[in-house]
A and B are shown apart, each in its own frame.
Chain A
Amino acid sequence: MSHQNPIIMVIEDENLLLQAISKKLENNDMKPVSCTTAQQALDYLESLPELPDAIWLDFHLGGGMDGLEFMGKLKQNSNWSEIPVVVVSNSATKDKVHSMLALGAKKYLLKAEHRLDDIITTVKEFVQKGE
């Protein structure tokens, strides 16, 4: 993770949101890896030459695997378990927040409550901590 532009994996099934996030990350000198499903994200993790510096994860995901399941699988792989994960979701019920944080998520944010800038700042912080 010594490269200049940190790689941020964004897992978001809503295409418009994904576009906005990716665009904003790029504007902030970061390299987004966009995934619309959890499975796609897992595939990328295995196939990509470099592991992402942080993962932006939605809770509700289409395609049969939700954010929680993905998180479980991520933590089971020792290569991936150290990657900081920020959960950005539409809902933040107590159960969801607790289970995510229990699996090692760094932060759980509610989409509509936060500006994109703010979320990216947060992600950036974890990337820098990781260094």
Chain B
Amino acid sequence: MFKNFKISTKIILPIIIITTIVLSAATIYSYFFNTKNLEIVINSHLETATQSRANHVKTVIKMYEQRARMLTSKTWLRKHLKSYYETNGEEYKTIIEEILVDLKLENPEFLHISIINPDGKVVVSSHKDFVGKDFSNKDFFINGKKDYTVSDYHEPEYDGSRLHIAGPLTQDGEFLGVVAVSSDGKTMESVMTEYSGLGETGQIYLINKEGYMITPSRFKEDTFLKEKVDTLNARNCFSGAVLKDIAKYKDYRGSFVLGTYQYIPEMQWCLLAEIDESEILAPARDLLKFSIIRVLVVLTIFFIVTLLLAKMISKPIIALHHGIEIIEKGNLDHKVATTSKDEIGQLSRAFDQMTLAIKQSRAEVDQKVVKQTEEITKKSIDLANQQKAVLNILEDVQEEKQKSINLAHDLKKFQLAVANSSEHIVITDSEGIILYANQAVQTITGFSPQEIIGNKVGTKENWGGLMDKATYQNLWQTVKTSKKPFTGEINNKKKTGEKYIAQANIVPILNNQQQVAFFVGIERDITKAKEIDRMKTEFISLASHQLRTPLSAMKWFLEMLLHGDAGELSKEQTEYITNIDQSNERMIALVNALLNISRIESGRIIIDPELTNLEELVKTVTTELKPKLEAKKQNIIVSAHHSLPKINLDPKLIRNVYQNLLTNAIKYSPAESDITIMISKKDDQIISQISDSGAGIPIKEQTKVFQKFYRGENIVKLETDGNGLGLYLVKAVIESSGGKIWFKSEEKKGTTFWFSLPLKGVKPKKGQVTIDS
């Protein structure tokens, strides 16, 4: 069983048991030692008390004898007694009685005093009842005849008397009788009831030869001659045994007592001194209790200390155990790592090392296993790969099949697209033999695919034969020798013989050896487009020639008229002709504006940028406008950014913008007002600002400002001159130059226009016409 205990228990248990045994033994020993010592002390004390009390008793008896002797020594008592004997006269008897009463009064301890004649009959007594009684067989009479004796009383029914004191009465050698005194024995009693030095339970008492108690008990009432004491010491006392050792026994009450005794041979009495064992042992018991408490306290402290000690010892062991449990579960990385340097610490470190060793060896095993597993895995992967490869091949086949299907779909789509395209599409071999022609070929040329497949493309047999030799050679040179796509306009003819212009794109398709395998020719009939284009050009031409020519004629003749080339004109004539001239100038301006719009809208305008100083440009414009400014006494203020860079832009176009905006400002501003031009730089833009304090643009019309032919309602009334094309043109020009235009205007207050131009300038654009030409 002990084997199964924990280490702490194993440590604690024996220590506790041994301590308990030792302490218990010590306590018991000390208890018994103390008890013994106490008993010895008490015993010797009792013995002393017994002896001294016995002596005291003897002294008291002597005292009683002495008193009796004093009684009998009264000569006149003896005289009167002799006289009584002799005369038998009653008067003597009365005198003796009186004497006895007096003596009784003198000795309160004496209950009765009687005089007994030598025959044993009471002759005179202080107690009248005694007179005449025969005490001849009584001990005290028998003994009292010889000497003065004290004897104990044997008649319990005669309450009060305890002792008899008797002594002989003699007169001149003549025996007169015996004086007998019965005493209540108070002196004796007071001697025996003195318990001081005997504690709570100590008592001393006398027993007569019959064993009856003759002095009072400390514990019981009415014991005189009634309480028979038959205890160990009482027996030993009467048997004459020598008092030795400590006697412990049950006393007359049944209590355990420790007692001593002393035999008083004069009276055949035994004096017994006893004290309760419980009282004697009380201090020892108290001590025992205290000892037991002390033992318990010590044991408790011991237990706690031992427990702590055991814990201290067992803690690292538990830690070790815990560690082992963790490691048992498979965590070989766990370290018990006890820091203590004692044996347990050493053990735990040794254990850690062992764990490490196990781990290493396991790692080696694991490595081997891993290696083998890897090999197996590798093999299985290889196998899987092979499977995969097979599957892949299958998938590839599937994919290829799908691809083929997809390709077929794509091909179908392209076929459909090509077949239904509105463009004329043909595919030829490297020699130009037609392999394919789409539907549009028939639509455009009139030749059905059946008719032309197998023919050489673009020859007299089909739509060709009209190309000049140089173009024809250039075409084949490009696509066949240089193997590059050809793009150009060519002249063709339809099956009906009708000629048309085609925009042709011919692309050589090369094989892997970079040799021409096919040609794809895509052609579009652009005859109509060309026609429209030509018509636009014709319009401009018409406008410029057919309109400008009569306008020029009018201009010049009017000029001549006004100049007086046809003779002096009247004032009125001059005024009218001036009006006609001004109208003609407006017409010229309108034609110019229309031409410019036509150019811009057709996208044929040339943008020819050059590095331009905007400030200078503005100044040339203001210089040009000087006559108009002077006419209205207006002032133009030009301010430009101090380090304005030159910008790459078409000065002709931008000049037109400034011209337009400034002309408007002059036209719609009141006389003597200021017009300001500010040219500034903001980020990557050049901002031009033209402000006037003119009529302004009504808010509701502000959205229409840049519309073609728009003129503000307010200014139409103000100024009839104007065609509503200026700002439209300005906006078109600025936007074609990569800029923006915006404005702020309030009616009757003025208008400010801003336009931006990119600092980086504008890219050149090829075209056919310039502005104002």
A pairs with B? yes
Hey, which bits of chain A sit against chain B, CB under 8 A? 14, 16-17, 20-21, 23-24, 27, 60, 90-94, 97, 110-113, 115-117
Q: Which residues of chain A are near B768, meaning CB under 8 Å? A: 93
- B606 and A94 within 8 A (CB): yes
Contact (Cβ within 8 A) A112 B548: yes
Structural contact, A91 and B544, CB atoms closer than 8 A: yes
Q: Are A17 and B553 interface neighbours, CB within 8 A?
A: yes
Chain A residue with the shortest CB-CB distance to B544 = A91
Offer 6 A-B interface pairs, CB within 8 angstroms, sorted by A: A21-B556, A91-B544, A91-B545, A93-B770, A112-B551, A115-B555
> Chain A nearest CB: distance from B652 CB in Å?
10
If A20-B557, A90-B545, A93-B768 touch, whether A112 touches B552 (CB-CB below 8 Å) is yes
Tell which of B549, B559, B563 touches A17, judged by Cβ atoms closer than 8 Å: B549
In the complex, the answer to whether A60 meets B545 with C-beta atoms within 8 Å is yes
A24 proximity list for chain B (CB < 8 A): 556, 560, 565
Q: Which residue from B556, B588, B608 sits with its C-beta under 8 Å from A116?
A: B556
In the complex, what residues of A have CB within 8 A of residue B591's CB?
Answer: 112
Inter-chain contact A116/B553, CB cutoff 8 Å: no
Q: Which 7 pairs show the lowest CB-CB distances between chains A and B?
A: A111-B552, A92-B773, A20-B556, A16-B553, A90-B548, A91-B544, A116-B556
Q: For window 549-598 of chain B, which residues contact chain A by CB distance below 8 Å?
A: 549-553, 555-557, 559-560, 563, 565, 588, 591-592
Nearest CB in chain A: distance from B143 CB, A? 196
Q: How far is the CB of A129 from chain B (nearest CB, A)?
A: 24
- Please measure, in the bound complex, the distance between the C-alpha atom of A105 and the C-alpha atom of B588, giving whole angstroms: 25
B769 sits at the interface (CB 8 A): yes
Chain A nearest CB from B753 CB (Å) reads 26
- Docked-complex contact B560 and A110, CB < 8 angstroms: no
Interface of A is mostly: helix
Give the contacting residue for B559; candidates A91, A94, A117; CB below 8 A.
A117
Q: Are A14 and B549 in contact (CB under 8 A)?
A: yes
Q: Which residue of A lies closest to B769 (CB)?
A: A93
- Nearest CB to that of B589 among chain A residues? A112
A23→B565 contact, CB < 8 A: yes
CA distance A23 to B565 in the complex (A): 9
B226 CB, nearest partner CB in chain A, Å: 177
Measured CB to CB, the closest approach of chain A to B764, in angstroms, equals 12
A14 / chain B contacts, CB cutoff of 8 Å? 549, 553
Query: What's the nearest-Cβ distance from chain B to residue A32, in Å?
Result: 14
Residue of A nearest to B652 (CB): A94
Residues on the A chain within 8 Å of B545, using CB: 60, 90-91
Are the CB atoms of B773 and A111 closer together than 8 Å? no
In chain B between 395 and 454, which residues have their CB closer than 8 angstroms to a CB of chain A? none
* Residue from B552, B560, B565, B769 with most neighbouring chain A CB atoms (10 Å): B552
Determine the chain B residues whose CB is within 8 A of the CB of A60 once the complex forms: 545
- Closest chain-B Cβ to A88's Cβ sits at a distance in Å of 9
A-B contact count (CB 8 A): 65
If the complex has contacts A115-B559, A116-B560, are A110 and B549 also in contact, measured as CB distance less than 8 A?
no
Neighbouring A residues of B550 by C-beta, 8 Å? 16
In contact, A94 and B553 (Cβ under 8 angstroms): no
Task: Report the minimal beta-carbon distance from A46 to chain B, rounded to whole angstroms.
Answer: 29
Tell me if A17 and B556 are in contact (CB < 8 A).
Answer: yes
Choice from A27, A110, A113 contacting B565 with Cβ under 8 Å: A27
Cβ of B317 to closest chain A Cβ, rounded Å: 110
Q: Cα distance A24–B557 when bound, in Å?
A: 9
14 additional contacts (CB under 8 A) given A24-B556, A90-B544, A93-B768: A17-B556, A20-B556, A21-B556, A23-B560, A24-B565, A90-B545, A91-B544, A93-B769, A93-B770, A94-B606, A110-B772, A111-B552, A112-B548, A112-B588
Interface residues of B (CB under 8 A from A): 541, 544-545, 548-553, 555-557, 559-560, 563, 565, 588, 591-592, 606, 608, 768-770, 772-773
User: For B553, what are the chain A residues with a Cβ–Cβ distance below 8 Å?
Assistant: 14, 16-17, 20
User: What residues of A have a CB within 8 angstroms of the CB of B606 in the complex?
Assistant: 94
Residues of B within 8 A of A90 (CB): 544-545, 548-549, 552
Complex formed: what's the CA distance from A27 to B566 in Å? 10
Among residues of B, the one whose C-beta sits closest to the C-beta of A95 is B768
Residue of A nearest to B584 (CB): A112
- Specify which chain B residues have a CB less than 8 angstroms from the CB of A97 in the assembled complex: 773
Distance A17 CA – B557 CA, assembled complex (angstroms): 9
CB neighbours (8 Å) of A27 from chain B are 560, 565
Residue of A nearest to B555 (CB): A112
Minimum CB–CB distance for A100 against chain B, Å: 13
CA gap between A97 and B545 in the complex, in Å: 16
Q: Which residues of B contact A91 (CB under 8 A)?
A: 541, 544-545, 548, 773
- C-alpha gap A14/B553 in the complex (Å): 9
Residues of chain A within 8 A (CB-CB) of B563 are 117
Nearest CB on A from B449, distance (A): 44
Residue of A90, A92, A94, A110 with most partner-chain B CB within 10 A: A90
The CA-CA distance from A97 to B770 in the complex, in Å, is 11
CA distance A117 to B557 in the complex (A): 11
Q: What is the CA–CA distance of A76 and B442 in the complex, to the nearest angstrom?
A: 52
Most chain-B CB neighbours within 10 Å: which of A23, A112, A117? Answer: A112
A18 to chain B, nearest CB (A): 10
Docked-complex contact B560 and A94, CB < 8 angstroms: no
A115 vs B606: C-alpha distance when bound (angstroms): 27
Q: Which of A20, A93, A111 contacts B560 (CB 8 A)?
A: A20
Closest residue on chain B to residue A16 by CB atoms:
B553
| Docked pose: A110 CA to B592 CA in angstroms | 11
A107 vs B401: C-alpha distance in the bound complex, in angstroms?
76
State the CA gap A14–B546 with chains docked (Å): 11
Residue of B nearest to A108 (CB): B773
Chain A minimum-CB-distance residue to B591 = A112
Closest Cβ of chain A to B769, distance in Å, is: 5
* Bound-complex Cα distance A117 to B555 (A): 11
A20 to B769, CA, bound (A): 29
A115 to B557, CA, bound (A): 10
Residues of chain A with a CB closer than 8 A to B565's CB: 23-24, 27
Task: Name the residue of chain B whose CB is nearest to the CB of A24.
Answer: B560
For A117, the chain B residues whose CB sits under 8 A away are: 559, 563
How far is B548's CA from A112's CA once the two chains are assembled, in angstroms?
7
State the CA gap A92–B548 with chains docked (Å). 12
A106 to B417, CA, bound (A): 59
Kindly provide the distance from the CB of B543 to the nearest chain A CB, expressed in whole angstroms.
Answer: 9
Distance of A61 Cα from B111 Cα, bound (Å): 207
Distance between Cα atoms of A17 and B555 in the complex (Å) = 10
Nearest residue (CB) in A for B540 is: A91
Q: Distance (Å) between the CB of A5 and the closest chain B CB?
A: 17
Complex Cα distance A91/B544, Å? 6
CB distance from B581 to the nearest CB of A (A): 10
B552-A17 in contact (CB<8A): yes
**Complex Cα–Cα for A53 and B769 (A):** 33
Q: Complex formed: what's the CA distance from A97 to B773 in Å?
A: 10
Query: Which single residue of chain A is at the shortest CB-CB distance from B595?
Result: A91
Q: Which of B545, B550, B606 has the most CB of A within 10 A?
A: B545
Q: Report Cα–Cα, A111/B551, bound state, in Å.
A: 9
Minimum CB–CB distance from A74 to chain B (whole Å) comes to: 23
Rounded to whole angstroms, the CA-CA distance of A17 and B560 in the bound complex is: 12
Report B-chain residues with C-beta under 8 Å of the C-beta of A116: 555-556, 559-560
A92 contact set on B, CB distance < 8 A:
773
- Expressed in whole angstroms, the Cα–Cα distance for A91 and B551 within the complex equals 13
